């Protein structure tokens, strides 16, 4: 709860008892049993499951997220980022020496770039496979692959295994059939598409930065808006396309003008301000006048009405996200750290622990030290941290000291 302002800072009384603490003993942290069954959920799990981002404005949850990131999440995040960049770099190096087919296998196998990058890919692949398989075991197949990121990760694992063999792809036969030619085209395009997919996957890592997270949420919201807009625009597009097609049929025009696909293509170009009315040249007399009416009706409805409606929806999405930018960023961090925490098998305190488990143990240790004491809110969105100067005051944290400028 808020206590008072002290030397330009907001002081809060923190009590994590019953919410996160104690970790052992007869009492237990607050947990919620879902109505649809399943294991109990903690407070942060409940916020993520129901996307209650507005609750992240409360000092308690902001403190939980900030302390977990500082003592646990940041270390795991930077380690995962380094591992991911290593994988991307190895895949990029492996693709540099890739031939379009017909390369001498002996030359390829003796290339230092190929050998080193292949060993790096095969060495890092088991780690990422273990992460995916652990997620499937923990959440179930359907729930795990209900996330687009996990589907993308599974695709990366399959594509990485296919990269080294592509170096030995034989030259495409001159008499190759359509199916075989398509297979060659897909195989030769795989390395470039994989790099693009890696970049998209990297957005999740970038979203944990405060300056980028809200912007990426905005982009995702705009993509959803485009999908909704596409459903509305499809009715207009197909309706006018059918009208134009009937006009050409009534005029006796042959399919030399391109038929239905040409009509759809021209309509999409009209929407993008690339207006070419040569499509209507085949219409004569009254049918040409009707075609002009349909043309201008389509332009007014799609370009001036629907397209401006899409821009207005974009503006609404941007303003909505910006109003909750800090909560959006904290929500992304909370969801990611819950995923990190679920993957750490933490043995009892005092036992042999891996590094992430020790980080997590330090986080809970700081909560125990800070509980039932006053503390300066360090994660304030509206006020920067005070400059380092004369006054030095402890804030009941075993790992942090707040420096406050004296007046």
Question: For 245-277, how does the pLDDT look when each residue is reduced to its tens digit (9 = 90+)?
Answer: 888 888 776 555 567 888 888 888 888 877 777
Q: What is the pLDDT of residue 247?
A: 86
User: Could you give the CA distance from residue 58 to residue 330 in angstroms, rounded to a whole number?
Assistant: 12
With beta carbons less than 8 A apart as the criterion, state whether 72 and 363 touch.
yes
DSSP 8-state secondary structure symbol assigned to residue 257: G
DSSP 8-state secondary structure symbol assigned to residue 58: S
Q: Among 32, 9, 16, which Cα is nearest to 368's?
A: 16
Q: Which residues contact 76 (CB under 8 A, 6 or more apart)?
A: 337, 340, 344, 356, 359
User: Could you give the CA distance from residue 40 to residue 18 in angstroms, rounded to a whole number?
Assistant: 14
Q: Among 391, 393, 396, which Cα is nearest to 407's?
A: 391
Compute φ and ψ for 185, nearest 5 degrees. -65, -40
Q: Which residues contact 16 (CB under 8 A, 6 or more apart)?
A: 60, 64, 367, 368, 370, 371
Question: Count of H helices and E strands in the chain?
Answer: 14, 5
Compute φ and ψ for 348, nearest 5 degrees. -60, 155
Q: What is the pLDDT of residue 43?
A: 78
Helix (H, G, I), strand (E, B), or coil: what is residue 375?
strand
User: Could you give the CA distance from residue 125 to residue 103 in angstroms, rounded to a whole number?
Assistant: 26
Provide the β-strand partners of residue 391. 404
The residue length of the chain stands at 407
Element (H, E) at 11: strand 9-14
Residue ranges of the chain whose pLDDT lies below 70: 1-8, 18-19, 21-38, 97-109, 171-174, 253-258, 343-360, 374-407
Q: What is the pLDDT of residue 25?
A: 54
Residue indicated by tokens 């897909």: 186
User: Could you give the CA distance from residue 14 to residue 348 in angstroms, rounded to a whole number?
Assistant: 26
Q: Could you count the other beta carbons within 10 Å of the beta carbon of residue 135? A: 20
Q: Among 7, 9, 8, which Cα is nearest to 375's?
A: 9
User: Could you give the CA distance from residue 247 to residue 287 in angstroms, rounded to a whole number?
Assistant: 7
3-state helix vs strand vs coil in the chain, percent to 5: 65, 5, 25
DSSP 8-state secondary structure symbol assigned to residue 100: S
Which pair of structure tokens corresponds to residue 300?
Answer: 């007014």
Which pair of structure tokens corresponds to residue 269?
Answer: 């170009």
User: Could you give the CA distance from residue 188 to residue 361 in angstroms, rounded to a whole number?
Assistant: 48
Nearest-Å Rg of the Cα atoms of the chain is: 29
Helix (H, G, I), strand (E, B), or coil: what is residue 34?
coil
Helix (H, G, I), strand (E, B), or coil: what is residue 336?
helix
Compute φ and ψ for 353, nearest 5 degrees. -125, 145
Adjacency order of strands within the sheet including 373-376: 2-6, 9-14, 373-376
Residue indicated by tokens 């959920």: 41
Helix (H, G, I), strand (E, B), or coil: what is residue 168?
coil
Compute φ and ψ for 285, nearest 5 degrees. 60, -135
């Amino acid at each position: 709860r808020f206590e008072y302002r002290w030397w330009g800072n907001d002081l809060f009384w923190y009590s994590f008892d019953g919410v996160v603490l104690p970790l052992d003993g007869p009492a237990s942290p607050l947990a919620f049993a879902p109505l649809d069954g399943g294991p109990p959920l903690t407070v942060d799990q409940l916020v993520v499951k129901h996307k209650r981002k507005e609750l992240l404005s409360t000092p308690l949850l902001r403190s939980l997220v900030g302390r977990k990131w500082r003592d646990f999440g940041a270390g795991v995040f930077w380690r995962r980022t380094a591992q991911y960049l290593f994988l991307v770099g190895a895949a990029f190096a492996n693709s540099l020496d890739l031939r379009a087919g017909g390369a001498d296998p002996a030359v390829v196998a003796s290339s230092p770039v190929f050998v080193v990058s292949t060993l790096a890919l095969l060495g890092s692949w088991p780690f990422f496979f273990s992460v995916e398989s652990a997620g499937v075991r923990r959440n179930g197949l359907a729930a795990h692959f209900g996330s687009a990121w996990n589907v993308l990760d599974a695709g990366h694992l399959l594509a990485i295994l296919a990269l080294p063999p592509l170096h030995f792809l034989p030259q495409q036969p001159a008499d190759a059939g359509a199916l075989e030619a398509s297979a060659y085209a897909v195989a030769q395009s795989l390395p470039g598409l994989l790099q693009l997919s890696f970049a998209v996957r990297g957005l999740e890592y970038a979203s944990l930065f405060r300056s980028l997270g809200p912007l990426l949420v905005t982009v995702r919201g705009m993509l959803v808006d485009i999908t909704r807009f596409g459903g509305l625009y499809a009715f207009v597009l197909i309706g006018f396309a059918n009208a134009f097609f009937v006009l050409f049929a009534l005029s006796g025009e042959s399919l030399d003008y391109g038929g239905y696909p040409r009509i759809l293509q021209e309509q999409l170009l009209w929407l993008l301000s690339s207006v070419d009315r040569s499509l209507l040249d085949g219409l004569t007399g009254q049918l040409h006048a009707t075609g002009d009416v349909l043309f201008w009706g389509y332009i007014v409805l799609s370009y001036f009405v629907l397209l401006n409606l899409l821009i207005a929806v974009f503006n609404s999405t941007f303003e909505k996200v910006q109003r909750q930018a800090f909560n959006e960023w904290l929500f992304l961090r909370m969801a990611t750290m819950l995923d990190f925490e679920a993957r750490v098998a933490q043995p009892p305190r005092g036992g042999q622990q891996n590094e992430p488990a020790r980080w997590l143990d330090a986080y809970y240790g700081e909560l125990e030290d800070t509980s039932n004491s006053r503390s300066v809110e360090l994660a304030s969105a509206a006020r920067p941290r005070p400059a380092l100067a004369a006054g030095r005051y402890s804030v009941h944290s075993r790992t942090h000291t707040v420096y406050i400028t004296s007046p």
